[in-house]
Amino acid sequence: MGIFVGILPFIIRGAIALIAIKPFIEWFLQRRKFVNTINSIPGFPSYPLIGSLWITFHLEREEIINFALARPKFFPDGISHAWLGPFPEVRVDTAELAQEVLLSKKCFAKARIYDLMIGGWIGNGLVLNTGEKWFKHRRLLTSTFHFDILNKYCVVFQKKADVLCDVLEKYSKSGETFNIAEYFYRLTFDAILETAFGLQLDIQRDNDCAYLRASEEIGEIAVNRVKNPLFLNSFIFKMSPLGRRAKKVLKVLHDFSNKVIKDRREELKERKFNTEEDDICFLNLLLRESQTNTFLTDKDIREEVDTFMFAVRLTPVFINEFISIIYLFKGHDTTATMLSWTILLIGNHPSVQQAIYDEQVTLFGHDKTPPTQKDLPKMQYLERTIKECVCLLFFILF
């Protein structure tokens, strides 16, 4: 009895220790099972903390991009994995495997790497949302993308395209070489500002736009964060100079969105939320919906609008670095990138360019009347050309 009493404190301490470390043991066993599952997929060698990022350390930027794009050659089965520090990334490179993933109803939650890169800006917008909130917002947003509404945006796109032509006219006379991608990004950004916010800031002509500069800088910050394994820890990142800079840039982005939403809500209140027939900007539609759907707060509205701004502001550097560092380009179709590559291909094939021009002359003559939505289906050769360009130079990696 005396011996039992003597060891009783040790038994109690041991039991307490087991109870205390039980969650860690369970996590460790689940983590090990998860890691083994990921590593059973063909992939790059990895090391603790840095994962597979060591591969990029000795490569120049262009070499990293080429290496990432050549990844399917290393893994001909069409599926491979890489470790971004402690975070795994599985990439599929065939249409059949991509279909399996995209049609799955089991995995709605995005990997943490997405939250690290864009979560600070777009919050819980549709891209990063999950669960019941995702379903509610998805149903709600579907109504704002009715074809009747989208067709009305054609007028905005035509207007912005006319501005682009005016801006580029100087190059047609001087013969100067320039990077057309920069102008396409301003074009798409200009269009999204009007269709999403209802704002006309003329940023194709005005380079001094704080929101535009901030949206570009936050993309650079996101890429630099993923490059540094230490910054995958949110606390360390927030304490770093880069994290403090990110906080200031995010404030510019969110303050802009919040002010626009506040001012527009007050304006619509005065009109009793009766929008004009041509007043179909995305923000107005969401504010009107929020009157009958109380779960849609101003913060939710800002996150959804910011999500669309993010989609169009994937700059060339951001896209290339995003691909090269995490070997993945998320499912945002970047119109500006597609336009840039399409123009390059058409420019390198004069006969195709002439055929496109001839089709436009056949349809419209030399009349400068802007085409309407009804005219688009008539541009059959142009449509086939664009689709062929998409096939030749894909803009989304799965």
Which residues of the chain are modeled with pLDDT < 50? 315-333, 397-398
**311-to-153, 230, 238, 260 alpha-carbon distances in Å:** 17, 27, 24, 19
Tell me what pLDDT residue 217 has: 83
Alpha-carbon gap, residue 170 to 294, rounded angstroms: 51
Identity of residue 302: R
Instruction: Name 10's Cβ contacts closer than 8 Å, sequence gap at least 6.
Output: none
pLDDT for 121-152, tens place per residue? Answer: 777 766 666 666 777 767 766 666 666 667 77
Tell me what pLDDT residue 273 has: 63
**pTM of this prediction?**
0.67
Alpha-carbon gap, residue 47 to 85, rounded angstroms: 8
pLDDT for 233-280, tens place per residue? Answer: 888 888 999 989 988 988 888 888 888 888 888 887 777 666 555 566
Tell me what pLDDT residue 397 has: 45
Domain boundaries, the chain: 1-40, 42-107, 136-324
Alpha-carbon gap, residue 246 to 252, rounded angstroms: 10
Count of CA atoms in the C-beta half-sphere (13 A) of 79: 12
Closest CA to 305 of 323, 287, 319: 287
Tell me what pLDDT residue 58 has: 79
Report the greatest alpha carbon distance in the chain: 108
Tell me what pLDDT residue 398 has: 39
Contact 352, 389 (CB under 8 A): no
Tell me what pLDDT residue 356 has: 93
Closest CA to 230 of 245, 242, 216, 217: 242
- Classify domain 136-324 at the CATH topology level: Cytochrome p450 (1.10.630)
Helix or strand run (H / E) with residue 79: strand 79-84
Alpha-carbon gap, residue 163 to 160, rounded angstroms: 5
